[in-house]
Amino acid sequence: MSGYLDSLNQAQREAVEATEGPVLVLAGAGTGKTRVLTTRFAHILLSHKAFPNQILTVTFTNKAAREMRERVGRILGQPAEGLWLGTFHALCARMLRRFADRVGLQSNFSILDSDDQLRLLKQVMETARIDAKRWPPNALMAQIQRWKDKGFMPTEIPAAESSDFANGRAEDLYAAYQARLKALNAVDFGDLLLLCVHLLKTDAEVLATYHKMFRYILVDEYQDTNLVQYYWLRLLAQGHKNICCVGDDDQSIYSWRGAEIENILKFERDFPGAKIVRLEANYRSTAPILTAASHLIAHNEGRLGKTLHSGRNDADGDNVEVVALWDSEEEARMVGSRVESYRRAGESLAEMAILVRAGFQTRAFEERMITLGIPYRIIGGLRFYERAEIRDAIAYLRVLAQPSDDLAFERIVNTPKRGVGESALRLLHEQARADQLSLYAATEKLLQGGGLRGKVRESLRELLSHFTHWRDILGREGHVVALETLLDESGYIDMWKADKSPEAPGRLENLKELVRALADFEALQGFLDHVSLVMENEERDDDAKLSMMTLHGAKGLEFDIVFLPGWEEGVFPNQRALDEGGNKSLEEERRLAYVGITRARRRAIISHAANRRIYANWQSSIPSRFIEELPDHVVTRTGSAAMNQSARLAAPPSFPLQARRVREADIWDTPARPARTDKIPVGARVFHQKFGYGRVIAVDDDRLDIDFETSGEKRVLDRFVERHDV
């Protein structure tokens, strides 16, 4: 055991041996942070500075906790027992079980999963007579979890953090939800940290107990902590002040789920006299890759600063390659060709990855790999056509093409919610079996014969009327316009727009990509046949596979060869980051680019296309500003010389954030569809197939703001309404 420090470099050893007082270890990508953390843990034990149960060690995942426990056991030469080692939620649950009575709970309290949380919140909203259609429970739940992530109890929400949900009733609903949880002797995941922080802040005896217990605190991935996690750590660290946080401010990429980069940036202010140790020797990547990543991230102002250099003996390696391509289809062909070429040269598919900014981008590469017969896997998600929102949309298309498709009809009949519950579905099935009809035909028969009543009758009548209308559009204007109209008028797009979960924007982007995919086919049936063949392309677990994933999902992984496609303004950096203005969002996008490049051990291939399809139309794209920020001496630019030249000229480092916006069409925006020739003026009375009669109150090009008689104000395209002036 005496040689456990010998394998560390100087900076790593300094981080391990600086046991007393606050320490921040800035661990760059591939610099051995897990080794430092586990060796530090073992060093404290072997130096007899603490017993195992006197070290609090916090990780972000159960997998990381297991790995650390195993590594510590190997250093000690025996299993590590009695440790306070785990995720934030697991450790807080352990604390709350011990002191449950002090927060009004019993020690056997239940921890509700997300489904139970939402069910309980819906009950609270029903009791308060809140219309769940107008005010979606998912949106309120997301707001409550944001408050909990920031450490706000219902009575502590500042005015600046208030919500306009349900006309300002969100805080009262939050309080009622918490009261119901307590009555059930239950907590949700947000409560585990929130109640722990509340307990430590308000009960000096409990705080003193843990100050005495924990002589040392170790924290992994500190840059990913949110505010309530930060408060919990600060409260516990005020005892011995021996807190060591390991993290990388340059890899803080999770603000969308509450992470606060300011937590790591202000460490020295929070803990005066803190020691800062920088781990800069990267043992993963070649020198050109590290130089490119370091030059790129140096453009960020909000960072503590460090420069990666290679700790490998074979550090020279190939330059980072930037490939300029004519369009996104050529980009997919280029990546497929390179993958084939590398595989023929002896490279393993398991050591290659395609990293995209958003999940919808995988579709083009998935279909290319299927065409070439190259096995692949999606890491951290589903294959494109397996995603729930895509399956829903395709189910609509299947019913559109074939009304007797019972499986598809059953999937979408109550998606979005139309009040068609189990009893109504049972009635449809009974009618279908009795008359040997499809569910669609059985629904028609029940509507004609009066076998359905009330809201269900009206909902199903409207749905079937919509399908008649959509089939008419399919016949007159084609499958692309039919899908756009269907997604809009069915309420499916509105359902995801109302969803405030972090996944909702990605689902909307996936639906846009589905419309783009549809435009590649001459007819709807050809597309549906294609999807069926793609879904039959089963993966075999015994083969090496090419990996595809988002850049967010790639953090912590590494590959010999990494493809980074879609480096264009509006794609990467993402359009939302550009729309928000300011540097904060843009700097997080740049950190994401840094993460992407540093996943590569030997080769990084970045690509951008001059043209991308927006539905049926092609739109010009401008190279990402991040490409210009790469240093010339470690970058090889290939592809069209003209496009490379235009890329370099089009990307001065100081252009305004909005100057290079790529036009992103809304999901219902149909640029290929001819606009109507007769302009509809303000004041005109119109009819819409879904929303009924209304009067135009504003006109913005081909978009109309209409006050509908039964459904209020909505914005629609003028081509979807008919004039009914009286």
* Inter-CA distances, 280 with 26, 64, 68, 284, 471, Å: 8, 22, 22, 12, 61
Q: How many CA atoms lie within 13 A of 110 on its CB side?
A: 12
Active-site residue, 677 included: no
In the block, residue with structure tokens 């797009």: 493
Please name the helix (run of DSSP H) or strand (run of DSSP E) that holds residue 238, with its range, or none.
none
List the catalytic residue out of 13, 14, 19, 34.
Answer: 34
Residues 6+ apart with CB under 8 A from 695: 683, 684, 685, 686, 706, 707
Active-site residue, 221 included: yes
Active-site residue, 555 included: no
Taking phi over 0 as left and psi of -120 to 50 as alpha, with beta for the rest, 534 belongs to alpha
Amino acid type, 480: V
In the block, residue with structure tokens 């109150």: 697
Residues 6+ apart with CB under 8 A from 43: 4, 5, 16, 17, 19
In the block, residue with structure tokens 């043992």: 283
Tokens of 315: 């550090």
Q: Using N-to-C axis directions, what is the helix angle for 88-98 and 227-237, rounded to 10°? A: 60
Active-site residue, 34 included: yes
Enter the DSSP assignment of 541.
T
The set of long-range contacts for 79-83, using a CB threshold of 8 Å and a minimum separation of 24, is 80/52, 81/52, 82/51, 82/52, 82/53, 83/52, 83/53, 83/55, 83/57
List the catalytic residue out of 33, 148, 590, 673.
Answer: 33
List the catalytic residue out of 221, 224, 331, 509.
Answer: 221
Active-site residue, 520 included: no
Strand partners, 638: 323
List the catalytic residue out of 599, 603, 625, 673.
Answer: 599
List the catalytic residue out of 171, 188, 220, 513.
Answer: 220
* Inter-CA distances, 161 with 224, 621, 671, Å: 21, 38, 39
The number of angstroms, rounded, from the C-alpha of 170 to the middle of its chain's C-alpha atoms is 25
**Could you tell me whether strands 617-620 and 635-639 are parallel, antiparallel, or unpaired per DSSP bridges?**
unpaired
The number of angstroms, rounded, from the C-alpha of 259 to the middle of its chain's C-alpha atoms is 13
Go through 631-648 and write b for each residue having 16 or more CB atoms within 10 A of its CB, e for each that does not: eeebbebebeeebbeebe
Active-site residue, 251 included: yes
- Provide the annotated active-site residues: 33-34, 220-221, 251, 599
